[in-house]
Amino acid sequence: MFQTNDLQIMLFLLFSILSIASAIFITRQRNVFYASIGLAFLGISIAVLIALLSPSAYAFYSVFHLLLYVGSAVVFLSISLVILRGLEVKEVQIPWAGVAAVIVGALVYIGLFVTFSSISPASAESTVFSLVKFANTFLQQYWFPTVILIVALLTTVIEALSLARGEKA
């Protein structure tokens, strides 16, 4: 089995290559819709790289990067481009895609089942989640990543709006 450092280095190299490949794909792509799909892969790989740097320190930053940047900005960009610009997205029928999806889904299910079936619950007592306590902890300890995320999200939304309106950057 891999040691933690070896696995982290392999994952870091894998997602570094994925982020570089996604960035090259985005800049070389002529269709803006497919470039926004590439942007999703770039955002996911950057979120993983952030988490791999120091999971205890940057876990919140990585999760919020994934949720805000990839989740909202890329989906907003894709939907606004398709609706407002009337981009045509060609659907390609791949005969083996359904079989591949079932096989991958089964493998993921088996992997999750094997992983979580051997884990026993730590304790039977339930803990009460306090949103006020979470907000205080989050704003006191993680205020700087929050500011960076808000600025990055606002920049992305402004760029998506300008692209959707057809303005040149």
Q: Model confidence over 14-49: pLDDT tens digits?
A: 999 999 999 999 888 887 778 878 888 888 899 888
- pLDDT tens for 102-130 read 999 999 899 888 877 776 665 556 677 77
- pLDDT tens for 135-161 read 788 778 877 877 877 787 777 777 767
Whole-structure pTM value = 0.53
**Secondary structure string (H, E, C) spanning the chain:** CCCHHHHHHHHHHHHHHHHHHHHHHHHHCCCHHHHHHHHHHHHHHHHHHHHHHCHHHHHHHHHHHHHHHHHHHHHHHHHHHHHHHCCCCCCCCCCCHHHHHHHHHHHHHHHHHHHHHCCCCCCCCCCCCCHHHHHHHHHHHCHHHHHHHHHHHHHHHHHHHHHHHCCCC
Q: Where are the domains of the chain?
A: 1-117, 130-168
**Residues 44-60, mean pLDDT to the nearest whole number:** 83
